[in-house]
C-alpha cells in the first residue's frame, strides 16, 4: 500500500523523497531553562527534524531581560534581544513560544502576537489556569502540563468528546523527586539541594512545594477533559511544605507511599498529599516522573507516564508544538 508523501522505488519498496528543508524563523519569549533547551534541541537535532518534517526551524530572536547575563547554553550572536517589538515586527517569524512565565505581561504579548497573525505556543500554566481559558484552542499548550508526556494531545484529540469521567495523577515532578529521594534515605534539605542541582526546581520553590503548580496543571487538565472552564481558584490544594523525611519513612514502614496526587471530576478538582499502597502505579514513580490516569466511557483506563520536570523534558513538548504550528 502506498505511503502518503513517499515515492515508489521498486515493486515492494517506498522511500521518502529527498527535498531541501524549508527554513522557518521562529522566536522565543524567554531564554531560561526551557527556552535555552528549545534552542538547543532545534540546533542539535536539526538534521533529524528536517528529515522527518521537511522543515528547519531556526530561533532568530529570544526575548530576555538582561543581555549580559551568563548562560549555560549561549544563544547564537544577535539572537538575544530586550525588545519585544523586534519580534512582533519581524514578518518572517511565523511562530513564537512564550516561555517567560508570569501573567500580565505574558498575556499582553500573546494577544499582540495573535493580533499580528503569528502562531503561538506557551508553557505558562499559571496564565492558562488564571486568565487564559479563552486562549485554549487558539494557542498550543503541550508544554504547560506534564513535561514530555503527550497528555494535552491525548485529551484534545485522542479521546471521544465527553468520554472522560475522571482524571488523577502525579503532575508535579519536583515534589515527586523530593518524596522519592526522602524514601531513599535523603533528608528533605538534601533532596531539595539535589533537585536544585538538577534544575528540577525554580530558584523560589514555593509554587512546587505549596501545591500551586500542581493545582494550576489540574485546572488546565480538568478544563480540557470536561469542557467547562476551571481556574486555579476552583482547585482545593495542599502541598508537601509540611512534610519531612520522618513522615515519608513512617508511611514507608507500613508499606505505603506518600505522593502529591491531583484528582479531577466534573464536580471538583483537588490536589493533596495521598497515602497509597506501595504497589500503586503512582507510588512506583521515581525521580521527577509524572503519571496521569484517565478514566472514562469506552476506553476504561489509560495510564500515561514519563518525565515531568526539567528544561529538556518541557522543551520536547514545546518543540513538538512549534512544528505543529508551522505545519
CB 194 within 8 A of CB 250: no
Integer Cα distance of 292 and 262 in angstroms = 9
Q: Per the structure block, which three cell numbers stand in for 142?
A: 503541550
For 1-37, the DSSP string reads -PPTT-EEEETTEEEPPP-PPEEEEEEEE--SHHHHH
DSSP state of 176: H
Report the DSSP beta bridge partners of residue 120.
96
**Do the Cβ atoms of 39 and 80 come closer than 8 Å?**
no
Specify the residue for cell string 534544575.
Answer: 199
154 CB-contact burial (10 Å; exposed 0-12 / middle 13-18 / buried 19+): middle
**What is the spatial distance between Cα 208 and Cα 180, in angstroms, rounded to a whole number?**
15
Question: Is residue 25 within 8 Å of residue 90, measured between CB atoms?
Answer: yes
Listed in sequence order, the residues at least 6 apart from 246 whose beta carbon sits closer than 8 Å to its beta carbon are none
Q: Which of 13, 125, 217, 256 is catalytic?
A: 217
**Rounded Cα–Cα distance for residues 30 and 36 (Å):** 8
How far is it, in rounded angstroms, from Cα 122 to Cα 97? Answer: 6
174, 132, 169: which is closest to 270 by C-alpha?
Answer: 169
Contact (Cβ atoms closer than 8 angstroms) between residue 173 and residue 259 = no
Cβ–Cβ < 8 Å for 260, 212: no
Copy the grid coordinates of residue 237: 490544594
Q: 3-state class of 64 per DSSP?
A: coil
For this structure, is 118 an active site residue? no
- Active-site positions read 217
Amino acid at each position: 500500500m502506498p505511503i502518503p508523501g513517499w515515492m515508489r522505488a521498486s515493486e515492494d519498496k517506498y522511500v521518502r523523497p529527498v527535498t531541501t528543508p524549508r527554513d522557518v524563523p521562529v522566536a522565543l519569549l524567554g531564554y531560561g531553562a526551557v527556552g535555552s533547551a528549545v534552542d538547543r534541541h532545534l540546533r542539535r537535532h536539526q538534521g533529524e527534524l528536517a528529515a522527518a518534517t521537511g522543515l528547519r526551524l531556526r530561533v532568530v530572536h529570544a526575548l530576555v531581560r538582561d543581555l549580559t547575563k551568563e548562560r549555560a547554553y549561549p544563544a547564537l550572536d544577535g539572537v538575544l534581544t530586550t525588545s519585544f517589538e523586534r519580534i512582533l515586527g519581524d514578518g518572517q517569524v511565523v511562530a513564537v513560544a512564550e516561555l517567560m512565565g508570569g501573567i500580565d505581561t505574558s498575556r499582553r504579548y500573546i494577544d499582540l502576537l495573535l493580533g499580528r497573525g503569528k502562531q503561538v505556543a506557551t508553557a505558562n500554566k499559571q496564565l492558562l489556569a488564571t486568565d487564559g481559558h479563552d486562549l485554549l484552542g487558539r494557542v498550543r499548550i503541550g508544554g504547560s502540563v506534564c513535561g514530555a508526556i503527550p497528555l494535552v494531545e491525548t485529551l484534545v484529540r485522542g479521546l471521544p468528546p465527553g468520554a472522560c469521567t475522571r482524571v488523577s495523577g502525579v503532575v508535579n515532578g519536583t515534589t515527586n523527586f523530593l518524596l522519592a529521594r526522602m524514601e531513599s534515605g535523603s533528608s528533605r534539605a538534601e533532596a531539595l539541594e539535589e533537585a536544585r542541582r538538577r534544575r528540577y526546581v525554580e530558584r523560589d520553590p514555593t509554587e512546587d512545594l505549596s501545591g500551586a503548580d500542581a493545582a494550576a496543571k489540574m485546572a488546565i487538565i480538568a478544563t480540557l477533559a470536561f469542557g467547562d472552564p476551571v481556574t486555579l481558584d476552583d482547585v482545593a490544594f495542599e502541598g508537601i511544605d509540611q512534610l519531612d523525611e520522618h513522615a515519608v519513612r513512617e508511611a514507608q514502614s507500613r508499606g505505603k507511599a506518600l505522593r502529591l496526587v491531583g484528582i479531577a471530576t466534573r464536580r471538583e478538582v483537588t490536589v493533596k498529599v495521598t497515602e497509597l499502597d506501595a504497589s500503586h502505579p503512582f507510588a512506583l514513580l521515581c525521580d521527577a516522573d509524572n503519571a496521569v490516569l484517565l478514566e472514562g466511557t469506552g476506553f476504561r483506563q489509560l495510564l500515561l507516564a514519563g518525565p515531568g520536570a526539567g528544561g529538556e523534558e518541557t522543551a520536547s513538548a514545546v518543540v513538538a508544538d512549534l512544528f505543529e504550528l508551522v505545519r
